[in-house]
């Protein structure tokens, strides 16, 4: 079953379990769990059901059959802006590092409710923005209309969407954790191949730290931590990392104070 082994390994790591602890919870041997994760054997349907119950995911998810949505579809339906009105500091970095002194095409991947996309359009960029959550896109369209700026908003799954044109900036904040490890090289490579020379990638994502508990609103089975420095490791050769950081910061999304660790990066295509 394609992807089952990595989904099992990711779920175990998100729950901060060793292979031994997971095996004990399921009444199996550590070797069995290790063999699942290597893709050498697969759990039978009874064990799969038990794993699904233990980790709060569906068997359809484990088997890769679930129609993909995120909990933001629901959250963005609520009144107001789930993410507030503040524009991410990384958006201002785009303005500083690649100001739109000539027409520049910017892509916002996983644009949520569209605030950053509209901010860029108001500042003169030609903006394309997509997200899997239709409710967020509706808010983005209304925001763009109220601001009197064009933004090409559309619904797409970043794991499947093939870019058909080149961009000067690819901007994606707080989204890459939705890319399972086995898709990361392909997705980032595709974005890199569709970025103009001199263009920027402005990205961030959550990294796993043993001393930080997983956030209460983490979408188990849909979000996957990155490892420290993993994001940066995709930017070599024609790419120069202009800036990076790995802060730990406080957050109270879902109304519960907690912490995150994030890798943030601005990289430029040099050739």
Ligand X SMILES: C[S@@+](CC[C@H](N)C(=O)[O-])C[C@H]1O[C@@H](n2cnc3c(N)ncnc32)[C@H](O)[C@@H]1O
Stretches 8-16, 94-102, 125-133, 209-217: which one binds ligand X (CB under 6 A)?
Answer: 125-133
Per CB under 6 A, the list member of 40, 60, 74, 157 interacting with ligand X is 157
Closest CA to 103 of 70, 66, 135, 128: 128
**Residue 134 has which token pair?**
């239709």
Q: How far is the CB of 222 from ligand X (least distance, A)?
A: 7
Beta strands in 135-226 (DSSP E): 151-155, 167-172, 195-206
Q: How far is the CB of 77 from ligand X (least distance, A)?
A: 12
Number of residue whose CB is nearest ligand X: 112
CB nearer to ligand X: give 152 or 174: 174
Contacts of 89 (CB under 8 A, 6+ apart): none
Site size toward ligand X, by CB under 6 A: 18
Q: Rounded CA gap, 138 and 112, in Å?
A: 10
Q: Does 43 engage in binding with ligand X (CB under 6 A)?
A: no
Q: Does 74 engage in binding with ligand X (CB under 6 A)?
A: no
CB nearer to ligand X: give 40 or 157: 157
Pairing of strands 151-155, 239-245: unpaired
Per CB under 6 A, the list member of 11, 105, 121, 136 interacting with ligand X is 136
Helical ranges in the chain per DSSP H: 4-14, 19-26, 30-37, 45-55, 59-63, 72-75, 89-97, 115-122, 134-147, 184-193
Per CB under 6 A, the list member of 151, 175, 262, 265 interacting with ligand X is 175
Stretches 22-30, 171-179, 235-243, 256-264: which one binds ligand X (CB under 6 A)?
Answer: 171-179
- Provide the terminal-to-terminal Cα distance of the chain, rounded to the nearest Å: 39
Stretches 93-101, 109-117, 207-215, 226-234: which one binds ligand X (CB under 6 A)?
Answer: 109-117
Stretches 4-12, 25-33, 155-163, 235-243: which one binds ligand X (CB under 6 A)?
Answer: 155-163
Please compute, for residue 160, the number of CA atoms within 13 A of its CA located in the half-sphere on the CB side. Answer: 6
Q: Are 8 and 64 in contact (CB under 8 A)?
A: no
Q: Does 24 engage in binding with ligand X (CB under 6 A)?
A: no
Per CB under 6 A, the list member of 12, 22, 110, 151 interacting with ligand X is 110
Q: Does 173 engage in binding with ligand X (CB under 6 A)?
A: yes
Per CB under 6 A, the list member of 61, 153, 167, 178 interacting with ligand X is 178
Q: How far is the CB of 120 from ligand X (least distance, A)?
A: 12
Contacts of 117 (CB under 8 A, 6+ apart): 108, 111, 127, 129, 140, 144, 151, 153
What is the binding site for ligand X (CB under 6 A)?
70, 72, 83, 88, 110-112, 131-133, 136, 157-159, 173-175, 178
């Amino acid at each position: 079953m394609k992807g089952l082994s990595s989904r099992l390994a990711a779920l175990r790591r998100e729950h901060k379990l060793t292979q031994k602890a997971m095996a004990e919870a399921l009444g199996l041997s550590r070797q069995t769990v290790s063999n699942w994760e290597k893709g050498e054997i697969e759990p039978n349907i009874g064990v799969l059901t038990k794993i699904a119950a233990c980790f709060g995911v569906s068997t359809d998810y484990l088997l890769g059959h679930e129609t993909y949505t995120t909990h933001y579809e629901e959250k963005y339906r609520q009144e107001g802006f789930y993410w507030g009105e503040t524009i991410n500091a990384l958006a201002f970095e785009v303005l500083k590092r690649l100001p739109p002194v000539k027409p520049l095409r910017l892509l916002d991947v996983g644009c949520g409710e569209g605030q950053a996309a509209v901010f860029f359009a108001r500042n003169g960029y030609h903006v394309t923005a997509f997200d899997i959550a239709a409710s967020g896109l509706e808010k983005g369209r209304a925001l763009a209309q109220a601001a009197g700026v064009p933004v090409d908003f559309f619904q797409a799954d970043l794991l499947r969407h093939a870019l058909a044109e080149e961009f000067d900036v690819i901007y994606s904040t707080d989204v890459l954790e939705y890319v399972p490890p086995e898709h990361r090289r392909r997705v980032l490579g595709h974005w890199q191949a569709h970025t103009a020379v001199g263009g920027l990638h402005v990205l961030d994502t959550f990294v796993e730290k043993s001393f930080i508990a997983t956030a209460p609103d983490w979408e188990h089975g849909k979000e996957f931590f990155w490892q420290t420095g993993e994001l940066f490791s995709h930017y070599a050769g024609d790419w120069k990392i202009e800036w990076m950081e790995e802060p730990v910061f406080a957050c109270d999304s879902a109304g519960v104070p907690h912490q995150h660790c994030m890798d943030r990066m601005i990289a430029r295509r040099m050739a």
